[in-house]
Amino acid sequence: MFMNDRQQMELKKKICIVQNKLSKIEGIELLEMAQLNQFDLRVMEAAGVYDEDREPDVIIPYGTDTDTLAAKLIDLIGIENGQVWYMLLDELIVGVKILDEKYAMLGMLKTDMNKAIMLISEDKKKLYDFGLDSRGDDYIFDVYDLK
């Protein structure tokens, strides 16, 4: 995709903002960063990521404290030290290595990302989505098969 100078500057600005957010998270190592492309978006759409009629896989009460939430997500996703994951943030896909699962998840939840997390497995076959339910007052967690 060809980008003009303004688009390139906007992308660089977005990358700096995301790098700044992620640099504050203990327990991860930044590996690589790229812009989501149309193929990535079509794969996510085909998997049902944008389907508002889909029932959530897991509903977690809104008042759940951050430590409990982090432990539950580590368990649901299966995050372990040493794994590589891809985070989706601000139309970017960011490779991260988990150095400490607890601190990594707590950091992801405590940044200004509104406790919304989208992770893709290293083999890029599964997408894990966690955040506030736009249709209700609770958190929802979903797993999508990417093909």
Q: Mean pLDDT score of the chain, rounded to an integer?
A: 88
DSSP state string for the chain: ----HHHHHHHHHHHHHHHHHHHT-TTEEEEEEEE--HHHHHHHHHHTTT-TTSPPSEEE-TT--HHHHHHHHHHHHT--TT-EEEEEETTEEEEEEES-HHHHHHHHHHSSSTT-EEEEETTS-EEEEEEE-TTSSSEEEEEEE--
Q: What is the pLDDT of residue 106?
A: 93
pLDDT tens column, 39-60: 677 888 888 888 888 889 999 9
Structure-block tokens of residue 23 = 């640099």
pLDDT tens column, 110-124: 866 567 899 999 999
**Cα 98 vs. chain centroid, distance in angstroms?**
13
**Calpha distance 114→66 (Å, rounded):** 12
Structure-block tokens of residue 95 = 């490779």
pTM passes above 0.95: no
pLDDT tens column, 124-143: 999 999 998 877 789 999 99
